[in-house]
Amino acid sequence: MGKKAVAVYSEIDRRALHVRLADEAYLIGGASSLESYLNQDAILDVAVKAHADAIHPGYGFLAENAEFAKVVSEKGFAFIGPPHEVIHLMGDKTVARKLMLRAGVPVVPGTTEPLDADDRAIEAASEIGYPVVVKAAAGGGGKGMRIVRKPDELLDAMRTAKEEAQSAFGDSRIYLEKYLEKPRHVEMQILSDAYGNAIYLGERECSIQRRHQKIVEESPSVLLDGPSRREMGETAIKAVKGCGYVNAGTVEFLVDANRNFYFLEMNTRLQVEHPVTELVTGIDLVKMQILIAEGLPLPIRQDEIVRSGHAIEARIYAEDPLNSFFPSTGIIERFRAPGGPWIRIDSGVTEGSEVSVYYDPLIAKLIAWGKDREEARRRLVQALEEFEITGIRHNIPALLSILNHPKFVAGEINTHFMQDYLQTEDLLKGDLTEEELVAAAIAAARLRNSQEVSQSAFEQRLVQSPIGEVNRRRWVQKRYENLRG
């Protein structure tokens, strides 16, 4: 677009990829997010120094902070996102539910007012019918959320959820919703301008989740057909117009086996998983965001949107799937991303980058496109097998187990997929044959008897053993760490 990008960075991110790529970059504070990426005054000071005319909040930290959006506008900068009033309205889950009901959008049965852990909550839960889910009114991402199946568990769950919500969002308000057993999580991407034009770009299936955090996303969903897709899209437009939304946004739904869908929440920002929509539609969502923020009308109409093929995204996290997905910190020693046609990699790290305790452990997103779902799936599997990451632990073995699972291949997925089908032993299936294990043991024994203790030496020994290159990359670090321990 011919525009210059100004980056802000924390002390620990001095060598981060976004700093290297930006036209200008400014230090805004220490390692913690409170000192840096949540420091509104520091960010606005940089905008003034750099003579910026707009601020894009990304999809974390201040992306859905209504107060920040308001201050940005008051200071004379364009906020690349919706109006602060809308962020405020849709960020409060109980208010959002009321708005959606008024707009004629189907909503999961539940309360429309915050509740305390008292008799009124017990009565409300009884009316809704168990199981119910306790949710934070001001949050998302699974924080402040508890599933309750029995009346005698309700009050304790509500107290715990209130404490967690207060810690995570500075807002302890909670409410109750009917808990849908094993639904699918399907969201609709929308674009809306300041002139009343709104379009939907198609859905993303986000049912593969761990602790309510998405891991694998795809578009289109195998559950929807033409009529149901159109109905969901038109319902998303109702939601958008019901709250005066402008810019890119996502309306999230829970869907049952009969394709009945219910409003879950609205994300008033760009989604982590937006690349799958871009690959299927050919529409650059960030570019659309900028055009809308400049005050221009949407350059495309609903009937001009053409969706082609299938795209699947896998989120690569610095975490150990064999240790309850505990975050893994340290220096990324080797980072060799796959390439080739129909493969896209979005990442903020390179070799030498530090994965710290301060930020989210998401280090890359790998996306594959295919003419159909199976072609996209196979391309993604191959790309994951070619990905080389050492120095930290990562979830690629878990992603491969998910993508190769018969239920995923068949499209039979829901939000309980991980706990139902992916146990620790599944992460090791297909990892090594008995013959390969023997080869690894021999190589490890040779190393133990030598003075060499570096990982490169360990890898050299393994290269000499009869073991496949792809398998070696997938488990060599784990074996080395076990040996070193």
DSSP state of 115: B
Question: How high is the pLDDT of residue 146?
Answer: 92
pLDDT at residue 422 tops 60: yes
State whether residue 270 is helix, strand or coil: coil
pLDDT band at 438 (very low <50, low <70, confident <90, very high): low
Q: How far is Cα 91 from Cα 165, in angstroms, rounded to an integer? A: 13
Q: How high is the mean pLDDT of the chain? A: 89
Q: Quick one: which H or E segment has residue 372?
A: none
| H-run or E-run covering 312 | strand 310-317
Torsion of CA 147, 150, 154, 156, to 10 degrees: -90
pLDDT value at 394 more than 60: yes
Backbone angles phi, psi at 6, to 5 degrees: -110, 125
**243 and 89 Cβ atoms separated by less than 8 Å:** yes
User: Distance (Å, rounded) from C-alpha 395 to C-alpha 418?
Assistant: 13
φ and ψ of 451, to 5 deg: -95, 0
Output the pLDDT for position 257: 79
> pLDDT tens for residues 242-299?
999 999 999 999 998 788 999 999 999 999 999 999 999 999 999 999 999 999 999 9
What whole-number distance in Å separates Cα of residue 197 and Cα of residue 299?
10
pTM above 0.95, yes or no: no
Q: Is the pLDDT of residue 155 over 60?
A: yes
255 three-class SS:
strand
Where do the DSSP E strands lie in 23-103?
A: 24-29, 54-55, 78-79
Catalytic residue among 173, 204, 269, 379: 269
Q: Residue 47's CB: how many other CB atoms inside 10 A?
A: 20
R_g of the chain, CA atoms, integer Å: 24
Q: Mean pLDDT lowest for which of 2-11, 321-330, 357-366?
A: 321-330
- Residue 346's pLDDT is what? 97
Tokens 């400014």, located at residue = 26
Q: For helices 373-386 and 396-404, what crossing angle results, to 10°? A: 150
Instruction: Please say if the pLDDT value at position 431 is more than 80.
Output: no
Query: Is it the case that residue 458 has pLDDT exceeding 80?
Result: no
What pLDDT is attached to residue 107? 93
What secondary structure does DSSP assign to 388-411, as a single string? EEESS--SHHHHHHHHHSHHHHTT
Task: Give the pLDDT mean for 213-242.
Answer: 96
pLDDT band at 181 (very low <50, low <70, confident <90, very high): confident
Output the pLDDT for position 4. Answer: 96
Please give the residue that has the higher pLDDT: either 80 or 427: 80
* Residue 269 annotated in active site: yes
Q: What is the pLDDT of residue 321?
A: 83
What is the model's pLDDT at position 94? Answer: 86
Q: How confident is the model at residue 332 (pLDDT cuts 50, 70, 90)?
A: very high
pLDDT score of 459: 57
